[in-house]
Amino acid sequence: MPHVDMLRSPLGRARGLGSARAGSKHWWAQRVTAIALVPLTLWFIWSLLLLTGAAQGDVAAWLGSPFRLALMLSLIAATFHHLQLGMQVVIEDYVHQDMLKLALVLAMKGLCVVLALICAISALTLGLNS
Amino acid sequence: MRDVRDALMMARNSDGKLVRRPLSPHVQVYRWPISMALSIAHRISGVGLGIGTLLLTGWLASAASSEQGFERFQSFLGSVIGLFLLFCWSLALVFHFMSGLRHLWMDMGRGLDEKEYEQTALAVLICTGVLTVLIWLAGLIVW
């Protein structure tokens, strides 16, 4: 008898089914962005409270500081990265039809990239022109 | 047999009699423990916050477009619908934040025994309520 040290059948392997071997990276990235979002979210809520009822000029002046602009861009990056990782898991958990699942994941990721870019470009426009 | 799938659940017992195999209860018949409700709420609030990023995008994009555009968006946020959306967003954010901290704690292998597991779940709910109210009080005072 030859020694077999894997649980997957050769047929399963040949069909390419099973783990894509990228799960731990995905899991870890979800945690890293979550940890980054802890201080960033606290700072953002605090900032929003200070900016309640602010005019456009106030927001621009607020983002005029390089420190705040950097934090804002970090918040945008961490938020949308965390969002697309989480939404991917949700879609993959509930949608079982392969093509629909693929289409939804791609559309969701594309939307996240576009929204993140709109946010980042807006923040940069406000901060750099003030 | 009520269903063809039941055929897979038939077996013979030691007397050779045909019996239906025991089936574990389905998710719908479980009483909802707080930990299970919290786990599902974490996911729902996450999806809600994803939709809520449209508020952030609208806020930043309108501020970058023009003074009038920003004023229009601010007055929308100040309307009844706007305030309702903001309230849902803040509640989801505070809950997802607190529940996320609990998950990070459990990821470190802590707080997994039943008692602590339920205590931290309750703490998440209480903190969410208190913090959301405090944030809105502070916001309304500034406003």
Residue B105 lies in a domain: yes
Strand partners, B10: B20
Residue A8 lies in a domain: no
Distance from CA of A120 to the nearest CA of B (A): 9
Question: How far does chain A reach from its first CA to its final CA, in angstroms?
Answer: 75
Query: What pLDDT is recorded for position A75?
Result: 98
Q: Which residues of chain A make contact with B61, given a CB cutoff of 8 A?
A: 118-119, 122
The pLDDT tens digits of the residues spanning A25-52 come to 999 999 999 999 999 999 999 999 999 9
Residues within 8 A of A (CB atoms), B 2-41 only:
none
Q: Residue A32 has what DSSP assignment?
A: H
Residue A14 lies in a domain: no
Q: Residue B25 has what DSSP assignment?
A: P
Residue A5 lies in a domain: no
pTM, two decimals, is 0.84
Residue A58 lies in a domain: yes
Residues within 8 A of B (CB atoms), A 9-38 only:
31, 34-35, 37-38
Query: What pLDDT is recorded for position B50?
Result: 97
Q: Tell me whether residues A45 and B100 touch, CB distance under 8 A.
A: no
Q: Are A123 and A73 in contact (CB under 8 A)?
A: yes
Tell me the pLDDT band of B5, cut-offs 50, 70 and 90: low
Structurally, how many domains does chain A consist of?
1
CB atoms under 10 Å from CB of A97, counted, come to 9
Q: Is the dihedral of CA B89, A87, A74, B61 positive or negative?
A: negative
Separation in Å, CA B19 to CA A54, B14, B16: 71, 10, 9
Q: Give the residue among B55, B50, B42, B61 at the shortest CA–CA distance from B84.
A: B55
Q: Is the dihedral of CA B29, B32, B33, B35 positive or negative?
A: positive
Domain that holds residue A114: 23-129
Q: Tell me whether residues A56 and B135 touch, CB distance under 8 A.
A: no
| CATH code for the domain of B89 | 1.20.1300.10
Write the DSSP assignment of B31-89 as a string of letters: ---HHHHHHHHHHHHHHHHHHHHHHHHHHHHHHHH-HHHHHHHHHHHHSHHHHHHHHHH
Tell me the pLDDT band of A2, cut-offs 50, 70 and 90: low
Residue A35 lies in a domain: yes
Mutate to test the interface with B, among A27, A52, A95 (most CBs of B within 10 A): A52
Structurally, how many domains does chain B consist of?
1
Does the pLDDT value for residue B1 go beyond 60?
no
| CATH code for the domain of A39 | 1.20.1300.10
Q: Are B77 and B86 in contact (CB under 8 A)?
A: yes
Of A11-20, A90-99, B36-45, give the lowest mean pLDDT range.
A11-20
The span from the CA of A121 to the CA of A127, in Å, is 10
Separation in Å, CA A113 to CA A51, A122, B10, B17, B103: 26, 14, 51, 61, 26
A60, closest residue in chain B (CA to CA): B63
Mutate to test the interface with B, among A74, A76, A119 (most CBs of B within 10 A): A119
Residue B126 lies in a domain: yes
Residues within 8 A of B (CB atoms), A 69-128 only:
79-80, 83, 86-87, 90, 115, 118-119, 121-123, 125-126
The pLDDT tens digits of the residues spanning A46-102 come to 999 999 988 999 999 999 999 999 999 999 999 999 999 999 999 999 999 999 999
Distance from CA of A10 to the nearest CA of B (A): 27
Write the DSSP assignment of A46-89 as a string of letters: HHHHHTTT--HHHHHHHHTSHHHHHHHHHHHHHHHHHHHHHHHH
Residue B76 lies in a domain: yes
The span from the CA of B106 to the CA of B109, in Å, is 5
Domain that holds residue B118: 34-142
Residue A1 lies in a domain: no
Q: Are A25 and A81 in contact (CB under 8 A)?
A: no
